Amino acid sequence: MSYDAFLLLSFGGPERPDDVMPFLRNVTRGRGVPDSRLAVVAEHYQHFGGVSPINAQNRALLAAVEKDFAEHAVALPVYWGNRNWHPFLADTVRQMRDDGVRRTLVFTTSATSSYSSCRQYRENLLSAQSEVEGAPELVKLRHYFDHPGFIEANADGVKEALADRPDARLIFTAHSIPARMEEVSGPTGRLYTRQQRETARLVADAVRGPGADFDLVWQSRSGPPQVPWLEPDINDHLRALAAGGVRSVVVSPTGFVSDHMEVEWDLDTEARQTADSLGLDFARAATAGTHPAFVAMIRELVQEEIAGTPRAALGTLGICGRDCPEGCCLDR
């Protein structure tokens, strides 16, 4: 098929202290979250000068993709838009329209199925198209949780973290979601957990061989306590491991593609403090970021659509996310 642009679509984040509360209100719009609760989360950002690392990381990724495209004769201009902060998606779509773009491939910084990681991005795309008269067609690329490039990038991060602690317990983390959202993720349900576990399995096997042991846990829960979310939480799991005699852990946040706030605060700050209080040796593996294999993966996903090259996947769950059925990954 014919495409004339590439769009990086991400979550977005504040870039100065005064941005933090407006950004958090955007994130929680329609959920009735009081400012008093948002102020608690805002404090996390203030530890980093009121700046989320995610926008800088997206700029670096976009630059790496643009360079890789040029080196492999992928003649697409690159754009970037966010769900929750500048550059807002609708503004980017308006710019693409003004530049004469008609059909765009969209890469989202989320590798798996669920409402917040897939369906909501699709809704964002539809909303931007409806807001911008004459908007280009926006075609979301498929999920890549088991793509060889994603696995290689994460495996390299784990290998580096294990270098000084080869016998450490291997723990993978992803963002927790409400249990009900998990139940309806994917066409037949519970696909979010299965995909996260498949990523973890493939990375563990790449590092320690087939059948390697690992734990999959969850982090960054944000809902009210009476609503069930996926468990165990990373901090609870560290306490259980320490009580069982484990003395060293490597934590790999394969549920995230870059070292943004949920990684730098929830893992590098809170989980590390938990580990220190327990006497646990703690190392956090790098995310995919701008790893060359991850950047090449993005180009390969584009080439699948432009040139019909084979769809690469290492896991057993099948290709997912290119054409999602209507009832897939509902907001429940």
**For 93-107, what is each residue's pLDDT tens digit?**
999 999 999 999 999
- Please state the φ and ψ torsions of residue 68, each to the nearest 5 degrees: -65, -40
In one letter, which amino acid is 78?
V
Please check whether residues 98 and 203 belong to one and the same domain. no
Query: Per residue in 112-169, pLDDT tens?
Result: 999 999 999 999 999 999 999 999 999 999 999 999 999 999 999 999 999 999 999 9
Nearby residues of 155 by Cβ (< 8 Å), 6 or more positions away: 203, 206, 207
Q: Are 274 and 294 in contact, with CB atoms under 8 Å apart?
A: no
Residue 103 in any domain: the answer is yes
Distance in angstroms (rounded) separating the CA atoms of residues 48 and 50 = 6
Same structural domain, 173 and 233: yes
CATH number at residue 242: 3.40.50.1400
Provide mean pLDDT across the span 216-228. 91
Q: Which domain holds residue 79?
A: 5-144+291-307
| Domain identity same for 191 and 210 | yes
Nearest to 141, CA basis, from 288, 255, 311, 318: 311
Q: Give the pLDDT score at 267.
A: 98
Grouping H, G, I as helix, E, B as strand and the rest as coil, residue 319 is coil
**In-domain check, residue 120:** yes
Residue 223 has pLDDT above 80, yes or no: no
Per-residue pLDDT tens over the stretch 55-87: 999 999 999 999 999 999 999 999 999 999 999
Mind listing the pLDDT tens digit for each residue in 227-284? 999 999 999 999 999 999 999 999 999 999 999 999 999 999 999 999 999 999 999 9
Residues 265 and 296 in one domain: no
- The count of domains in the chain is 2
18 in a domain, yes or no? yes
What pTM was estimated for this model as a whole? 0.96
Closest residue by Cα to residue 47 from 302, 201, 321, 273: 273
Q: Are residues 76 and 131 in the same domain?
A: yes
Is residue 326 a part of any domain in this protein? no
140 and 152 share one domain: no
Q: How far apart are CA 200 and CA 225, in angstroms?
A: 27
Between the CA of residue 248 and those of 155, 164, 283, 286, what are the distances in Å? 18, 11, 8, 17
- How far, in Å, are 153, 216, 290, 299, 306 from residue 294 at the CA level? 6, 22, 7, 9, 19
Is the pLDDT score of 225 beyond 90?
Answer: no
**Assigned domain for 316 exists:** no
The verdict on residue 315 lying in a domain is: no
Are residues 193 and 220 part of one domain? yes
Are 179 and 257 found together in one domain?
yes
Instruction: Please check whether residues 34 and 106 belong to one and the same domain.
Output: yes
Q: How confident is the model over 196-222, as a mean pLDDT?
A: 97
Judge if 130 and 245 occupy the same domain: no
Q: Is residue 243 part of a domain?
A: yes
Give the confidence band of 325 by pLDDT, cuts at 50, 70, 90: confident
pLDDT band at 332 (very low <50, low <70, confident <90, very high): low
Q: What is the pLDDT of residue 322?
A: 85
Q: Is 314 a domain residue?
A: no
Instruction: Specify whether 124 is located in the same domain as 27.
Output: yes
**Average pLDDT value over all residues in the chain:** 96
Same domain for 135 and 156, yes or no, is no
Q: Average pLDDT, stretch 176-196?
A: 95
